[in-house]
Chain A
Amino acid sequence: MSTPAEVLPDIELVEGRSLWQDAMRRMLRNRAAMVSSFLLLALLITVTVGPWISGYEYDQLDWDHIWEPPAMETGHWLGTDSLGRDLFVRICQGGRISLMVGIVSTIVSLLIGVSWGAIAGYFGGRVDAIMMRIVDILYAMPFLFFVILLMVFFGRHILLIFIAIGMVNWLDMARIVRGQTLSIKNKEFIEAAWMAGASNRRVIYRHIIPNLMGVVAVYVTLTIPQVILVESFLSFLGLGVQEPATSWGALVNEGAQEMERAPWLLIFPASCLALTLFCFNFIGDGLRDALDPKDR
C-alpha cells in the first residue's frame, strides 16, 4: 500500500516527489477535472463581475418588459422574469448566494466534522465510543425537521441558513475523518517514520494531515454541490433566501412553475446549477484519483 518514498521519508537527497507534487501532476493530467476547474472559475468570474457589465440591477423591475425572451438588443441577454427583472443579473446574484451557501456551510461542517472525527480517531477508546455514539444518535434525527425548525427560529437570515445547514451536515465528515485517522495511525509508514526518529509534529504534519487532506478535499468538492441542492430544496418549500435576493435554487423553482410559458426562466438557471454540480463532481473525482495512494 505504501511507496518506497514514504517508507524512507528521510532520504530527501534524491529529489523525492512529495505527495502533493505528485497529486498535482496527476490532477493536471486529468482532462475532465481541469476543464471543470476552468469552467467553474469562469462561472465564478461571471457571477462576480456580471452585474457590473450588465446595465441592470437584480431588484430592478421593468413593467414594459415582462416575460421577455432572451434578446441582445434590449440588454436583457437572458430575458426577463414575470416582474421584468433581468435574468442574467439575477442568475449572477443568485449564483453568488448559492456558491456562498455551498462554501460557507461546507466550511462549517468541515470545521465541526474534522475536529470531531480527528479527536475521536486520535484518542480512541472511550472518547471515541462516546463521540461516535452521539454521531449515531444524530444520524437517526430527521434532518428535514431540524432544518425547517431552524428556519422558523432564525427567520430568513442568510448567514444563519448557511450555518444551520452546515451544522446538520457534518456527520458524514466526522465519520470519514475518524476512519481515516484510525487507519493512518496504524499504517506501516507511520511506524516507519516513528522508527526513523521523526518527531510527533513531523508525523502529524508530514503524514497524517496530508493523508487526511485528500479525503477532506474530495469530501468538500462533493459536499458543496450537495449543500447547493439542499438550499434549492428549501427554496422549493418557500423557506429559502429572502426576496428580492435570490439563489439558483429559488430561480430554478420559479422557472419550473413557468416552464411552458417562459422556458428560458428554467433553462438558464438550471443549466448554471447543473454545470456547477457537474464541475464540482468532476473535480472531486479527479482529486480522488490524484490523491489515492493505491493507484500509484
Chain B
Amino acid sequence: MLAYAVKRALGAIPTLFILLTLAFFLIRLAPGGPFDAERQLPPEIEANLNQKYHLDEPLYQQYGRYLWDIARGDFGPSFQYRDLTVNQLIADGFPVSLRLGLMSLLFALFFGVMLGTLAALRQNSAADYGLMTVAMLGVSIPNYVLAPLMILVFAVYQGWLPAGGLGGWQNYVMPVLALGTAMMAYIARLTRGSMIEVLRSNFIRTARAKGLPLRLLLFRHALPAAMVPVVSFLGPATAGIITGSVVIETIFGIPGLGRYFVQGALNRDYTLVMGVVLFYGMLIIVFNFIVDLLYAWLDPRVKYA
C-alpha cells in the first residue's frame, strides 16, 4: 500500500512537469501581455516593469527561473493583483473553494445515491420515472440559469437566504445546490443503473433468499457493489466542479480559486494562471489517487501493490 502510494507520487512528477511546461509556453504564446491596458504605459515604464518581473529575459531563461521558483514552492507575484503574491491568493482562495467543492460533492453523493437507490428499488414505477425526470432536468439546466433563478426566488422575493458573498452557512446553501445539482443528477442516474444490475445479481438473490432484512442487504451488500461506477465518475466530477465553480463564484461573489482560471488567463496574469493550473493539476492527481483507493476498498477484486 505504502509502496503503491510512493509509486503514484513519483509517477505524478513527470505529469506535473509536462503540465507546467505546456501551460507555461501556451500562456506566453497568447497575444497581449500582463501590462497591456487601455491607458498604455509609457515605454520607459513598461521596460522597467518588464525588468522587474524578468519579462525582458529570453523565454527559456524565464522558464528556468520559474522552474527554480516552483521547486522552492514560490509561485511568484501576481501581475494583476499587484499587492499580492500568487501564494497568498491561493492560500486565501483555496479553503473557500475546498469547502464549497466538498460540500457540493457530499450533497451530490448523498442525495444522488439515495435517489438512485430509491428509483432502482421501484424500477419502472411512477416514482422511478418521476425521480429520473427530475434528475434529467438537473443535468439539462445550466447552472448559470439555476443560480440566478435561485437568487431571485430565495433571496430577492422570499428573503430566506443571502444573495451572495461569504458569511455564515446560509451563504453556502444556494452555491452548493447550484454547483451540486447537476452532479447529483448524474450520480442518481449512475446509481440507479448499477443498482438495478446489482439487485439482479446472484449474490443478492442468494442473500434475499436467505431472508436477510432489506436494510442490511442494501447497506451491507448492494450499495458497495453499486458504488463502483459512481466512484469512477468522481474523477471527472472534480474537474466538473472546477468549471462549475467559475460560474458559481462569479454569480454569488464567492472568493474562491475557480475564477482565477478565467481571470488569470484573460488578464495574462502569467504567474497566477500558472499557479492555479499547477495547483489544480496536483489536486486532480491526489483526488484520482483517493478514488483509486476507494475503488480497491469497494471492489475486492481490484488490488494495488
The interface of chain A, by Cβ under 8 A from chain B, is 136-137, 139-146, 148-149, 152-153, 172, 225, 229, 232-233, 236-237, 249, 252-253, 256-257, 259-260, 266, 270, 273-274, 277-278, 281-282, 294
Contact = CB atoms under 8 A, between A and B. Distances in A.
A148 B262 contact: yes
B30 interface: yes
A274 B137 contact: yes
B137 A256 contact: no
A201 B63 CA distance: 51
A229 B186 CA distance: 14
B10 interface: no
B281 A149 contact: no
A236 B251 CA distance: 11
Contacts of A252: 142, 144-145
A249 B145 contact: no
Given A148-B265, A232-B142, 9 more contacts: A140-B16, A140-B285, A142-B276, A145-B23, A153-B29, A172-B236, A236-B142, A273-B142, A294-B197
Closest 10 CB pairs of A and B: A274-B140, A277-B140, A148-B265, A137-B15, A140-B281, A236-B144, A256-B145, A152-B30, A140-B284, A144-B243
A159 B111 CA distance: 39
Contacts of A249: 142
Q: Among A137, A142, A144, A256, find the residue whose CB has the most chain B CB atoms closer than 10 A.
A: A142
Contacts of B14: 137
A229 B243 CA distance: 12
A89 B273 CA distance: 40
Contact of B142 (A143, A153, A229): A229
A143 B152 contact: no
Q: Among A137, A143, A278, find the residue whose CB has the most chain B CB atoms closer than 10 A.
A: A137
Contact of B18 (A137, A152, A256, A294): A137
Chain B interface, DSSP helix/strand/loop, else mixed:
helix
B31 interface: yes
Contacts, number: 99
Nearest to A277: B140
Given A141-B22, A149-B27, A259-B149, A281 B136 contact: yes
Contact of B262 (A140, A143, A237, A273): A237
B26 interface: yes
A252 B31 CA distance: 30
Contacts of B247: 233, 236
Interface of B: 14-16, 18-19, 22-23, 26-27, 29-31, 136-137, 139-142, 144-145, 148-149, 152, 197, 235-236, 239, 242-243, 246-247, 261-262, 265-266, 273, 276-277, 280-281, 284-285, 288
Contacts of B276: 142
A152 B31 contact: yes
A274 B141 contact: yes
B19 A137 contact: yes
B140 A144 contact: no
Given A142-B281, A145-B273, A274-B141, A136 B242 contact: no
Given A141-B281, A233-B247, A256-B144, A136 B265 contact: no
A101 to B, nearest CB: 14
Contact of A148 (B19, B142, B266): B266
Contacts of A148: 261-262, 265-266
Contact of B235 (A139, A149, A225, A277): A139
Given A140-B284, A141-B281, A152 B140 contact: no
A260 B148 CA distance: 10
Nearest to B244: A233
B136 A153 contact: no
A278 B273 CA distance: 36
Contacts of B149: 256, 259
Contact of B265 (A149, A253, A281, A282): A149
A144 B19 contact: no
Nearest to A266: B145
A172 B236 CA distance: 9
Contacts of B152: 259-260
B225 to A, nearest CB: 15
A141 B24 CA distance: 12
24 contacts: A137-B15, A137-B19, A139-B235, A140-B16, A140-B284, A140-B285, A142-B242, A142-B276, A142-B284, A143-B239, A144-B243, A145-B273, A148-B261, A148-B265, A148-B266, A152-B31, A152-B265, A153-B29, A237-B262, A252-B144, A252-B145, A260-B152, A274-B141, A281-B136
